[in-house]
Amino acid sequence: MPAAAADSIEVHNPATGALIETIPVDSPQAVAATVQRVRANQPEWEAMGIEGRYHWLGKLRDWLLDNEQRVLDTMQAETGKVRADAGNEPGYLADLINFYGTRAAGFIGEEGVRPHTPLLASKKLRIQYRPHPVVGIISPWNFPLILSLGDSIPALQAGCAVVVKPSELTPLGVAEVIEAWKHEIGGPDVFDCVQGVGETGGALVYEVDFIQFTGSDRTGRKVMARAAETLTPVSLELGGKDPMIVLADADLDRAANAAAWGGMMNSGQICMSVERIYVEEPAYDAFVDKLTAEVGGLRQGSDDASSPKDVGAMTSPKQTAIVEDHVSDALASGARALTGGKRVEGPGDYFEPTVLVDVDHSMKVMREETFGPVVGVMKVRDAEEALQLANDSRYGLSGSVFGERERAEQVARRVECGAINVNDVLVNYFAMDVPMGGWKQSGIGTRHGEGGIKKYCRSESLVITRFGGKREPTWYPYTKGRRRLLAPISRFFGARDWRRKLGLRR
């Protein structure tokens, strides 16, 4: 079991239990020194401009693609994932580098703005976006590269220096890539990582100018409270309890296959995992049969390229205990496991892919984030009841609706969450064109899209006088004559709908 000592961390392979490596923990002083070093180099990085920075990020993309298997080996060992679940991370990062590299100018390039009133006719209005000098990224263990480097990429592209604090359970893959940035790629010294548990994360919050945190809502609250002490802005990507709604007119084979993959992929250790399913009554029996058959047939265990499996290990022993607790709580309250339902005997840390029925919202498995290979399925009268239950959650990260396209789309629009998929699952994460972020207690802020890079910048408004005399009419001295002239003008433009009066469009 991964253990964190005061000055070192043991990293284990959850698929076998074997010790991989022991790494040193960074003290708060070491965190401060790292931030200070990259901070000193950030102005030069910013001065390179969008194209100059894309040049270096392009080298990182090429390195990731050239060294994909090496990176996957490290990450698979520290997470216990099956190869297929690990395999999408380098490709996603390469896509993200290209996405922001080619769109950054449109997203954060300087903007000109037309004044809203003729009273500002002498002014030129511009907005420039300047990076937060140092961004701290604190990340979890379920997708170590995507959730550390994926947030670093837009920050670096924006001109920030970045320091990552990966999860203590999965520190190796991130460290390997950042070492390569420094020593194999020869990238500017604006990108580094620090290692440790919560204390190291807390030290990072104090030192940086912006915090991007991904993890549980419990830790998110602590990070936000600490950031409040220095008024450091935060973006929080937190947990989820994502619902799937299956309408009676859905393609039930597609819906069941999607539920199996969306619920069991990465052993269900995905913030956007399908965790709870609401099925309209006429489709319930057939859907449950198909889902149970699909999940029951999944192959579980440690794999490599020559012997593929479907479902890997649990990465965090603490999480396995939570999964076990949710499932036993449900079974004790009358739920039935149609397949799975228990921890697998070692070696390694595994929980059987599980389908629960006869569940309800009094059970933890339908209310709290399970974050394991478990789905609970409920029969509902109609779409209205499905929506009421889907929205009965403190979380609102993402979700999915399956059914005839137009009807499913109408239902999807009413699910309270940051992103919703119609007739698919999880795919919104790869649609990086649109924002991804949580409603309610699933987060604050978004990643991806324009907002995913703009958040790493501060806007600076430039109000530039193009022409003017020795003084403006509003300056001293205040005279009766000027007041008589200015008051009606300002009343006209300030208080009346003058555009409509003059026959202009709003």
Q: Exactly one of 279, 353, 369, 423 binds ligand NAD (CB under 6 A); which one?
A: 369
In whole angstroms, what is the distance from residue 435 CA to residue 186 CA? 32
Distance (Å, rounded) from C-alpha 203 to C-alpha 199?
6
Query: Residue written as tokens 């309209």?
Result: 280
Number of residues that bind ligand NAD (CB under 6 A): 31
Residue 28 vs 58, nearer CB to ligand NAD: 28
How far apart are the C-alpha atoms of 266 and 351, rounded to whole Å?
12
User: Tell me, what DSSP letter sits at residue 345?
Assistant: P
Helix, strand, coil distribution of the chain in percent, nearest 5? 45, 20, 35
Does residue 271 belong to the site contacting ligand NAD (CB under 6 A)? yes
Q: Is 271 a catalytic residue?
A: yes
Question: Quick one: CA torsion of 214, 220, 225, 231, rounded to 10 degrees?
Answer: 30
Residue 350 pairs in a beta bridge with 344
Strand duo 343-344 + 350-351: pairing: antiparallel
Per CB under 6 A, 142 contacts ligand NAD? yes
Catalytic residue among 46, 78, 168, 237: 237
Strands in 111-113's sheet, in edge-to-edge order, are 111-113, 123-131, 457-465
**Residue 475 CB contacts under 8 Å (≥ 6 apart), including other chains:** none
| Angle in degrees, 0-180, between the axes of helices 88-108 and 49-66, rounded to the nearest 10 | 170
Of 225-254, binders to ligand NAD (CB under 6 A) are 237-240
- What is the C-alpha separation between 220 and 490, in angstroms, rounded? 47
Q: Is the Cβ of residue 82 or residue 271 nearer to ligand NAD in the bound state?
A: 271
Strand partners, 243: 276
Q: Which of 46, 168, 207, 271 is catalytic?
A: 271
Q: Among 37, 123, 130, 222, which residue interacts with ligand NAD (rule: CB under 6 A)?
A: 222
* Distances in whole angstroms, Cα of residue 226 to Cα of each of 208, 232, 442: 12, 9, 19
Binder among 138, 175, 208, 366 for ligand NAD (CB under 6 A): 138
Asked if residue 140 binds ligand NAD (CB under 6 A), the reply is yes
Told to check if 202 binds ligand NAD by CB under 6 A, we report yes
By the rule CB under 6 A, 26 interacts with ligand NAD: no
- Tell me whether residue 417 is one of the annotated catalytic residues: no
The reply to whether 133 sits near ligand NAD by the rule CB under 6 A is no
Taking the complex as a whole, the smallest distance from the CB of residue 286 to ligand NAD amounts, in Å, to: 31
Which of 266, 292 has the CB closer to ligand NAD?
266
Q: What is the dihedral of CA 311, 312, 317, 318, to 10 degrees?
A: -40
393 is an interface residue for ligand NAD by CB under 6 A: no
Stretch of 67-75, 132-140, 303-311, 451-459 lying at the interface with ligand NAD (CB under 6 A): 132-140
How many residues are recorded in the chain? 506
Contact between 452 and ligand NAD by CB under 6 A: the answer reads no
Per-residue x/- marks for ligand NAD, 64-103, CB under 6 A? Answer: ----------------------------------------
Note the residues at the interface with ligand NAD (CB under 6 A).
Answer: 138-142, 147, 165, 167-168, 197-198, 201-202, 205, 214-216, 219, 222-223, 237-240, 271, 316, 369, 371, 397, 438, 443
- What are the residue numbers of the active site? 237, 271
